[in-house]
Structure 1
Amino acid sequence: MIQTTYNKLMRWFLHRPRATKRILSVLIDYVVVMLVLWSAFSLRLSTFYIPPQTQWWLFLLAPLIAIPIFIKLGLYRAIVRYIGLDALWTIFKAISLFTLIFATVVVLSGPYSGLVPRTIYIINAILLFISIGGLRLYARWLFISSTQKNLVDLDNKRYIPPVLIYGAGRAGAQLSALLKMGRQLRPVAFIDDEPTLYRQQINGLNVYRPRDLVKLIDKFHVRDVLLAIPSASRSRRSEILLSLEEFPVHIRTLPDLTDIAEGKLEVSDIQEVDIADLLGREAVAADPSLLSANISQKCVMVTGAGGSIGSELSRQIIKLNPSRLLLFEISEFALYQIEQELSHLEKQVEVIALLGSVVDRARLTSICQHFSVQTIYHAAAYKHVPMVEKNVGEGIRNNVFGTLHCAQAAIAAKVETFVLVSTDKAVRPTNTMGASKRMAELVLQALAQSSVTRFTMVRFGNVLGSSGSVVPLFREQIAKGGPVTVTDPQIIRYFMTIPEAAELVIQAGAMGQGGDVFVLDMGSAVKIVDLAKRMIHLSGFTVKNSENPDGDIEITFTGLRPGEKLFEELLIGENVSQTAHQKIMRAEENVIPWQDLQLILTDLQHAVSVSDYEKLRTILGKYVDGFMPQCGIEDWLSQKVVVNQ
């Protein structure tokens, strides 16, 4: 009954207009100032003081001086629920000024000045600071604790879920303060592996050891753990995530606290754990000279600028202050998205959005000549293996001849540097996409032998979060309750983040002398089924299998897709050398002279134009090292029927 009445009173007060709350605060302070002055006399005289009539004017005068000072210094503009140390400093200044003015008025009052002992002013100031500041802090505590203890948002009457915060450092303390002010999550405790913090309190919350997690989950009925360890390395974050996998909790993280403070994001914008933290891959600091060599104060064009790699290249390029950035893209919507994003970066760089296809040589040449392009990053390609396998002709046309036409446009316009974004699937390919990318590499290697334009190729594996990555697919499947689909229990892949890949592409492009094939160090291989299991565990679920039939989400194996390999490679041969960058290697690959390659390309183009897929397959098999297509010739020939219809 008392609790219900209290909640109603709190709800009534919270819903009052700001003007009403300020008037109530002024009235309370008016009474407090008089009571504090009376308390100061009582303490000074060590008795229950009853002021004579000649002193009553002092008790009426004190609030009349104090309240205007409080108003002027903004004590009634502060929102009590969010009051902090800054407000206490303001209260201290207001009380100091009040004490000075009040003492001056009393001393100048003549015969009445002797009615107030000098120590009264000091005692009164101390008591007033404790009372005015203490009341506000107490009110703040009441608002927060009423929400926390009742587990319900007083305004919306909804359950506020409890969470544990992993990390009791500065970021964790700031996070807990933000969550307490908000009404989305209810922090109940900290977890930290620093022994000196054990059993300490931060923002009213106890700090526990990681081994206490089971006890905390049962005690507070926790389903979520929020990571607040921004300073930890990737490898350390990976260790922490691995240690948490055995517990039935959903591991999440929050946006950067700076973004929250600047109003870009809210605490409610909870993110899943960064998949890069699962891999524990440490990024290497970039070389500023390599980053800027082909970009700073130069006209740069990115083909396929709306794709995963192309858009990240564009983001990083614009930060390196090119004289102009050209975004070349066939998809109108993708081009619009990246143009709008870059236009909000407030960089003094002219960004020009250009629609077009890389197979249109005339348009590419016109653009390169008109804008005097100096550097091209060629990221435009069809990359989805099963899709290209079902559209062989278009895959060859776009990936091989699109690269050829773009390179010829660069030569015609005397472009200084041309960087091809290649793939590990070009090495001993088992699919059309990989074979087409290797043919594109051969084109640039041949042209580099007699061209002023420096042609460079950069080969790497899967990137996290790209349109073809398994990570977004797994997240979607887990959100739907499964099953999570994996092609084969033995399939492995190499991964790196899109920003790291783009950064290394830019640096490798600056190291090329002409015809170079660079391969990026992709780190350790990852078993896809293990990645799926970790994502399921860190989402707060268990894997359903024969050993755990009561699990939450099942993993099913669908078989390798057309053209898919169990593992990918980055090198065709063993000829590889280190470069000045520890994450970039130079590969020595076989080159077909341009005179011979021209004839091959003529035959290839004719085969594509007449949908002669038997001829196309023969050409690729003859000139692409290690090409062993998994799809039968019948699958390729079936596409001819579709085309001819």
Structure 2
Amino acid sequence: MILRKRTLFLMLIDAMLINLAAFGSFYLRLESFGEGAFLEYYHTYYVTAVIATILYIAVFHVFGLYNRLWQYASTGELLSIVYAVSVGTGGTVAAVYLYGLMNAATLTYIRMPHTAAVLLWLAMVFLIGGSRFIWRILQENTYDRHVPGTKKQVLIVGAGDAGVLAARELKNRNYRDGRPIGFIDDNHSKQKLQLLGIPVLGTRKDIVRIVNGYNIDEVIIAMPSASGDSVREIVEICEKVGVELKIMPGVYDIISGDMNVNPIRQIQVEDLLGRDPVCVDLEEVAGYVAGETVFITGAGGSIGSEICRQIARFNPGKLVLLGHGENSIFDIEQELRAEHPGIDYITEILDIKDRQKVDLIFRRYKPGVVFHAAAHKHVPLMERNPEEALKNNLIGSQNLAEAADKIRVKTFVSISTDKAVNPTSVMGATKRTVELLIQSLDRRSKTKFVAVRFGNVLGSSGSVIPTFKRQIAKGGPVTVTHPDMVRYFMTIPEAAQLVIQAGAMAKGGEIFILDMGKPVKIVDLAKDLIRLSGFEPDVDIKIQFTGIRPGEKLFEELLTAEEGITSTKHSRIFVAKPNVIDVKLLEELTHIVRERGSYLTRDEVIELLQTVIPTFRQKDTKVVANQ
């Protein structure tokens, strides 16, 4: 009812404006001919006004001009007005002309002057456009008078589209979260210009001067395409003057669904990596996932759950969530049902080491695509439980792969790790063995078996970021194993999207390697996180070096010495050259593990892994084995 009253009110206003425009167009056209000329055309004007009122309102309704929020009007709404007025004017001229023809025998001068038609179009655009945009003008100029607002002064870094979006976002919140004082931009052609009436005050070199001179309280970084080094530089500059720092999300946040209603957020350590958004070939991915039954093992884990979220966007026929932990599987199922209710979800709690249950599940649902993310991944824990790493990572993967082979699954994607390259840990060695197993099975199977190898993911369970955050929250110290420790990092959504894309590119037998960018020093990551938490490293929060843990390396690699890489059509995905695989040794290894898995000693586990991976050498570290 409210909408109906609003529409009727707008129609009434438009009717008055239409008649005003019609009168003005005739008056201006005939004024120079004297009062008699206007009286002579009075009947024509009367007919034109009636027809125009009916026709314009009908056209405006068809063009949806009564269904828009005009306080947010932009160029799109202006174009809609121009189109609607053009159609309405053309229709009015034609209708008046036809009316004149039908009444030619009794009436005269029922023909609208050409100049009056042009004037009518101009008057309508001006009056209707002005009446609409007046709402936006009033809205944008009543904040200061009607809203108390905040005294917080805001400086926006980036005078581009994102910067304009940030300024408008602050306006849309009635300046409650800050008032934009100016922009910062390194483009010299933008200096001393204005956006939305807000001046560009200088470049990033001027941030300290501007912050002090304008009493800036908060800086918003609005450069979605900026590199991690650029963001880090701005963060360091702002830390010198002690202002609050926020950031606008990049395109990737929007694509992955991470952006909430509030697009301006606190800066996070992920922003300092400056990784480019992932470009996914939606058509190619949909081509092998849409309509298929898709299995995801480890579906409750960090990577597995994100693969679930990404796959759900491509309308699989069934999405089967496999996991060992009931709570995590329950959580991801509830989330998916709320976000993508049209998909058939199936949850199965199972241990991938249980061959009979694995075979049963594969025969029951007959998947077309499998993403295998289940694994024991924690390096120090697996050093203390080496037989469990071997049983779960190797035997569990073999159970899944052989079950997939039996029912001829189309594509099987196994998640691997950079720790599989020249492994020094039991976990890494087991994952390397799985890569060899996958490649071996692919050579005799109709299923396309591939592995995807990448480094650490930020924010995953067991990663350094949650650990650092907990330590900072307790006041420190933040523990780092070694000052020279470096790792490759990518975000969880980025890794999941590239894994899915690699599956679309699979021909069988490949080890896909994801572009991990530049390696990051762990100590630098710790310092960045401490600063982003509002503290100074080694002043407010101490950094303590604890020594390299069993199985760890100072740096990780993405390729073995015998592997080379070839590029793919995706700029972020590469393929490692295939290895020579001793199938007999693999079979002997898996047979022994199946026979004696739980009773294997630590030394026996290492010896078994060395039969398949001769380069695997375990340093003599003090590890307490659970046996």
- The Cα of 1:461 is off from its aligned counterpart by 1.2
The letter for the 2-side match of 1:576 is G
Residues 634 and 332 of structure 1: CA distance in aligned 2, closer, same or farther (over 3 Å): closer
Residues 217 and 476 of structure 1: CA distance in aligned 2, closer, same or farther (over 3 Å): farther
- The Cα of 1:203 is off from its aligned counterpart by 4.3
Matches within 5 A, 1:212-291: 212-230=206-224, 232=225, 234-235=226-227, 238-248=229-239, 249-254=243-248, 265-267=260-262, 270-273=265-268, 275=270, 277-283=271-277, 285-288=279-282, 290-291=284-285
Task: Name which of structure 1's ranges 621-630 and 284-293 shifts more when overlaid on structure 2.
Answer: 284-293
1:592 maps to which residue?
582
Looking at structure 1, the residues matched to 494 and 263 of structure 2 have their Cα atoms a distance apart, in angstroms, of 28
Looking at structure 1, the residues matched to 135 and 289 of structure 2 have their Cα atoms a distance apart, in angstroms, of 59
Q: Does 1:610 align with 2:576?
A: no
Tell me, yes or no, if the aligned pair for 1:335 and 1:353 is still in contact at 8 Å.
Answer: yes
Matches within 5 A, 1:240-389: 240-248=231-239, 249-254=243-248, 265-267=260-262, 270-273=265-268, 275=270, 277-283=271-277, 285-288=279-282, 290-346=284-340, 348-389=342-383
Task: Name which of structure 1's ranges 278-287 and 580-589 shifts more when overlaid on structure 2.
Answer: 278-287
Tell me, yes or no, if the aligned pair for 1:179 and 1:267 is still in contact at 8 Å.
Answer: no
1:444 maps to which residue?
438
2:550 maps to which residue?
562
The letter for the 1-side match of 2:578 is E
The letter for the 1-side match of 2:555 is F
SS in structure 1 at match of 2:220: strand
SS in structure 2 at match of 1:381: coil
Tell me, yes or no, if the aligned pair for 2:476 and 2:541 is still in contact at 8 Å.
Answer: yes
Percent of pairs identical after alignment? 39
Looking at structure 2, the residues matched to 85 and 300 of structure 1 have their Cα atoms a distance apart, in angstroms, of 44
Tell me, yes or no, if the aligned pair for 1:167 and 1:191 is still in contact at 8 Å.
Answer: yes
Tell me, yes or no, if the aligned pair for 1:423 and 1:461 is still in contact at 8 Å.
Answer: yes
Looking at structure 2, the residues matched to 538 and 298 of structure 1 have their Cα atoms a distance apart, in angstroms, of 43
For the aligned residues, what is the CA RMSD?
4.4
Residues 347 and 220 of structure 1: CA distance in aligned 2, closer, same or farther (over 3 Å): same
Looking at structure 2, the residues matched to 83 and 301 of structure 1 have their Cα atoms a distance apart, in angstroms, of 45
1:518 maps to which residue?
512
Looking at structure 2, the residues matched to 221 and 625 of structure 1 have their Cα atoms a distance apart, in angstroms, of 64
Unpaired runs of 5+ in structure 1? 1-77, 93-125, 153-159, 545-550, 641-645
2:560 maps to which residue?
572
Residues 632 and 608 of structure 1: CA distance in aligned 2, closer, same or farther (over 3 Å): farther
- The Cα of 1:539 is off from its aligned counterpart by 5.0
1:172 maps to which residue?
163
- The Cα of 1:83 is off from its aligned counterpart by 8.7
Looking at structure 1, the residues matched to 131 and 578 of structure 2 have their Cα atoms a distance apart, in angstroms, of 79
Looking at structure 2, the residues matched to 542 and 317 of structure 1 have their Cα atoms a distance apart, in angstroms, of 41
Looking at structure 2, the residues matched to 468 and 399 of structure 1 have their Cα atoms a distance apart, in angstroms, of 17
- The Cα of 1:455 is off from its aligned counterpart by 1.8
Tell me, yes or no, if the aligned pair for 2:480 and 2:546 is still in contact at 8 Å.
Answer: yes
1:162 maps to which residue?
153
Residues 534 and 412 of structure 1: CA distance in aligned 2, closer, same or farther (over 3 Å): same
Tell me, yes or no, if the aligned pair for 2:479 and 2:545 is still in contact at 8 Å.
Answer: yes
Aligned length: 519
Looking at structure 1, the residues matched to 622 and 471 of structure 2 have their Cα atoms a distance apart, in angstroms, of 33
2:51 maps to which residue?
none
Tell me, yes or no, if the aligned pair for 1:250 and 1:538 is still in contact at 8 Å.
Answer: no
- The Cα of 1:200 is off from its aligned counterpart by 3.4
- Find the partner of 1:195 among 183, 188, 191: 188
Looking at structure 1, the residues matched to 302 and 471 of structure 2 have their Cα atoms a distance apart, in angstroms, of 21
Looking at structure 2, the residues matched to 320 and 84 of structure 1 have their Cα atoms a distance apart, in angstroms, of 34
- The Cα of 1:567 is off from its aligned counterpart by 0.7
**TM-score, structure 2 length as denominator?**
0.71
Looking at structure 1, the residues matched to 621 and 477 of structure 2 have their Cα atoms a distance apart, in angstroms, of 30
The superposition leaves residues 475-494 of structure 1 with CA deviations (integer Å, 9 ceiling, x where unpaired) of 45455554433211111111
Residues 518 and 342 of structure 1: CA distance in aligned 2, closer, same or farther (over 3 Å): same
Matches within 5 A, 1:93-108: none
- Find the partner of 2:411 among 401, 406, 417: 417
Looking at structure 2, the residues matched to 213 and 484 of structure 1 have their Cα atoms a distance apart, in angstroms, of 30
Looking at structure 1, the residues matched to 549 and 541 of structure 2 have their Cα atoms a distance apart, in angstroms, of 23
The letter for the 1-side match of 2:460 is S
The superposition leaves residues 158-210 of structure 1 with CA deviations (integer Å, 9 ceiling, x where unpaired) of xx643322123343233223324432334333222233433334445332112
Tell me, yes or no, if the aligned pair for 1:251 and 1:539 is still in contact at 8 Å.
Answer: no
- The Cα of 1:214 is off from its aligned counterpart by 1.0
- Find the partner of 2:624 among 627, 631, 635: 635
Tell me, yes or no, if the aligned pair for 1:428 and 1:625 is still in contact at 8 Å.
Answer: no
The superposition leaves residues 600-619 of structure 1 with CA deviations (integer Å, 9 ceiling, x where unpaired) of 22223344322533322221
Looking at structure 2, the residues matched to 134 and 586 of structure 1 have their Cα atoms a distance apart, in angstroms, of 62
Matches within 5 A, 1:537-556: 537-538=531-532, 541-544=535-538, 551-556=539-544
Unpaired runs of 5+ in structure 2? 1-67, 82-125
Looking at structure 2, the residues matched to 527 and 185 of structure 1 have their Cα atoms a distance apart, in angstroms, of 35
The superposition leaves residues 207-239 of structure 1 with CA deviations (integer Å, 9 ceiling, x where unpaired) of 211232112322344453212233x3x53x642
The letter for the 1-side match of 2:461 is S
Task: Name which of structure 1's ranges 193-202 and 414-423 shifts more when overlaid on structure 2.
Answer: 193-202
Residues 227 and 585 of structure 1: CA distance in aligned 2, closer, same or farther (over 3 Å): same
- The Cα of 1:538 is off from its aligned counterpart by 4.9
The letter for the 2-side match of 1:190 is F
The letter for the 2-side match of 1:178 is E
2:144 maps to which residue?
144
- The Cα of 1:578 is off from its aligned counterpart by 0.7
SS in structure 1 at match of 2:413: strand
2:451 maps to which residue?
457
Residues 266 and 588 of structure 1: CA distance in aligned 2, closer, same or farther (over 3 Å): closer
The letter for the 1-side match of 2:462 is G
Looking at structure 2, the residues matched to 301 and 457 of structure 1 have their Cα atoms a distance apart, in angstroms, of 16
SS in structure 2 at match of 1:297: coil
1:116 maps to which residue?
none
Looking at structure 2, the residues matched to 512 and 85 of structure 1 have their Cα atoms a distance apart, in angstroms, of 46
Tell me, yes or no, if the aligned pair for 1:573 and 1:589 is still in contact at 8 Å.
Answer: no
**TM-score, structure 1 length as denominator?**
0.69
Tell me, yes or no, if the aligned pair for 1:457 and 1:517 is still in contact at 8 Å.
Answer: yes
Tell me, yes or no, if the aligned pair for 2:510 and 2:576 is still in contact at 8 Å.
Answer: yes
The letter for the 1-side match of 2:356 is A
Residues 186 and 332 of structure 1: CA distance in aligned 2, closer, same or farther (over 3 Å): farther
Looking at structure 1, the residues matched to 131 and 311 of structure 2 have their Cα atoms a distance apart, in angstroms, of 57
Tell me, yes or no, if the aligned pair for 1:563 and 1:631 is still in contact at 8 Å.
Answer: no
- The Cα of 1:409 is off from its aligned counterpart by 1.5
Looking at structure 1, the residues matched to 136 and 517 of structure 2 have their Cα atoms a distance apart, in angstroms, of 55
Task: Name which of structure 1's ranges 381-390 and 524-533 shifts more when overlaid on structure 2.
Answer: 524-533
Looking at structure 2, the residues matched to 229 and 174 of structure 1 have their Cα atoms a distance apart, in angstroms, of 11
The letter for the 2-side match of 1:574 is E
